[in-house]
Amino acid sequence: MRILKEASVGLIIDIQERLFPHMDGNGQLLKNVEMLTKGLKILDIPVKITEQYPRGLGTTIQPLKKILGDNQMFEKMSFSCCDEKGFYDYLIEAGRGRKNIIIAGIETHVCVLQTVVDLLGKGFQPVVIYDCVSSRSAVDKEIAIQRIRAEGAFVSTYESILFELTRVSGTEDFKKISRLLK
């Protein structure tokens, strides 16, 4: 199945001030998520953000806030984003048929995994961006990725998904994505 930009939404899960410093490979994770979010913006793909209990875990880290600007944030207490009524309502109503949910975030084995399972159950196609997710432990991430694949979600990388969404060379979008990824 081809992943098309017209049928896609980006989702950044819980990359927050008090969680992020404890993630395995957090420096590279930040660079990768920045590239993904900039690329999604170039391609005019809506990106939504969730924050798990921001009073205790802080808000989305500043570098991502700077890129994403006014994008709607969904505060949640449940691990799965789908249990947040506002987020799920957005997918149904405002998502307008966008069934591919391109996912970056933390932690892979908790909020990302549970969101993926629920999205699949509700008829969406999650696309987990492997180099844009992390957990405190590399083992937890790897086991979660195995389950995510077994459940039927797609796994990709930020560069691969951006070129798939771009589809063809020679366009203005292609030129912008190519410059971004250099």
| Candidate list 14, 118, 131, 173, residue with the active-site label | 14
Active-site residue 132, yes or no? no
Whole-number Cα distances in Å, 18 to 23, 36, 130, 133, 154: 10, 22, 22, 16, 29
Q: Please tell me which residue in 38, 41, 81, 111 is annotated as part of the active site.
A: 111
Distance in angstroms (rounded) separating the CA atoms of residues 40 and 122: 24
Residue 131 among the catalytic residues: no
For the chain, the residue count is: 182
Q: What does the alpha-carbon distance between residue 27 and residue 43 come to, in Å, rounded to a whole number?
A: 25
- Among the listed residues 5, 38, 48, 76, the single catalytic one is 76
Q: Would you call 14 a catalytic residue per the annotation? A: yes
The first and second tokens of residue 163, run together, are 């070129």
Name the residues annotated as catalytic.
14, 76, 111
